[in-house]
Amino acid sequence: MADISSGGANRIELESQILCSSLRLSWAGDDTEGVLTVVRQLYQLFPDLLPPPRQGQTQKPTNNYQLLNLRCDTPTGGVIVGYLRAAKKFLRAANPKDRRDDYFKILDAGFTLRKPRLRLSHDLVVVRSWMIDLKVIPEDGTLEALQVTPSQTEAPPPQMVRTQPIEPTMPLLFDLLKSAQIIGPADIQALTNQMTLAPEIPLQELVLSAGYVTDQELKSLQLAEYLLSQGKISMAQFAVAMYDERTTGIRMAESLQVRGWLETQVAKFGEEQPKKD
């Protein structure tokens, strides 16, 4: 989920904003049925933001709203005010060096709740734990109501914790992102669901808005698509060169040339310059 301030609004962003607002309002009103319904819908869009519970984990996730003394439906502006208030109160009452871990928790809570994508992931994880405690869903975290209502007997909602099978034919960009270890199966499912919901939005825009890559890295991925289609590099060579770009700052094309895997000087995507004598 992208921050609206960082780019133009699109259908995915609008849908996620509506669902996030509905989730927090239902949560604040202790509406367990409403929360479960919205969590299923959000999981369909963003399965990568709700990882499965760890087996044998007994410690409950930290509720950052409680830590900062905020309501879960507090808008972003109120979150910032609450975070600053909590940090100032802590600094007045204690020396951060003496209670470093507690101070870091406040800093982490403020950072998490100010970022839309991180906040949504936090909300989904904490809400799931809340529903387990209330015995709304099973202890394994499956998004399936324990008690079936009359309306559910006629048309039971899909169990959103089980992702839909991925289509066998996928864009090459998926393979590149997987090969570079930038995304995993859950991320692919999230993007696939988003593409189904809003087919008019290019995949590249969805990848950028999700924050998987930067603008510069996306250009390298587009160049890699061209080079692979022309048979100039292999997927393994791309993975190594992309790793160089993400860890050392060396552009992918430069890494390919330095390693001797790219014979021609690539000026820009889709264009080549003849080698000089």
If asked whether residues 193 and 133 sit together in one domain, one would say no
Structural domain that includes position 243: 172-273
Parts of the chain with a pLDDT under 70: 1-10, 56-57, 147-169, 264-277
> CA separation (Å) from 165 to 52, 162, 185, 189, 263?
17, 9, 10, 8, 40
> CA separation (Å) from 219 to 63, 77, 198, 261, 270?
38, 34, 23, 19, 11
Residue 7: per-residue pLDDT = 42
If asked whether residues 125 and 16 sit together in one domain, one would say yes
Residues in CB range of 119: below 8 A, 6 or more apart: 79, 112, 113
**Would you say residue 167 lies in a domain?**
no
d(CA 225, CA 234): 11
Sequence letter at residue 258: V
Residues 123-151 have pLDDT tens digits of 999 999 999 999 999 988 888 888 654 44
**Would you say residue 196 lies in a domain?**
yes
**Would you say residue 50 lies in a domain?**
yes
Structure tokens at 49: 């933001």
Residue 3: per-residue pLDDT = 45
d(CA 154, CA 41): 19
If asked whether residues 86 and 113 sit together in one domain, one would say yes
Q: Does pTM top 0.85 for this prediction?
A: no
If asked whether residues 226 and 257 sit together in one domain, one would say yes
If asked whether residues 110 and 195 sit together in one domain, one would say no
**Would you say residue 227 lies in a domain?**
yes
**Would you say residue 163 lies in a domain?**
no
d(CA 131, CA 148): 15
If asked whether residues 80 and 210 sit together in one domain, one would say no
If asked whether residues 27 and 146 sit together in one domain, one would say yes
If asked whether residues 65 and 120 sit together in one domain, one would say yes
**Would you say residue 160 lies in a domain?**
no
Averaged confidence pLDDT in the chain? 83
Residues in CB range of 45: below 8 A, 6 or more apart: 12, 15, 16, 19, 190, 193, 194, 197
| Half-sphere CA count of 30, side-chain side, radius 13 A | 2
If asked whether residues 241 and 110 sit together in one domain, one would say no
**Would you say residue 208 lies in a domain?**
yes
**Would you say residue 258 lies in a domain?**
yes
Domain count, the chain: 2
If asked whether residues 147 and 206 sit together in one domain, one would say no
If asked whether residues 263 and 183 sit together in one domain, one would say yes
For residue 254, report the phi and psi dihedrals to the nearest 5 degrees: -65, -40
Residue 73: per-residue pLDDT = 93
- Determine the length of the chain: 277
If asked whether residues 37 and 141 sit together in one domain, one would say yes
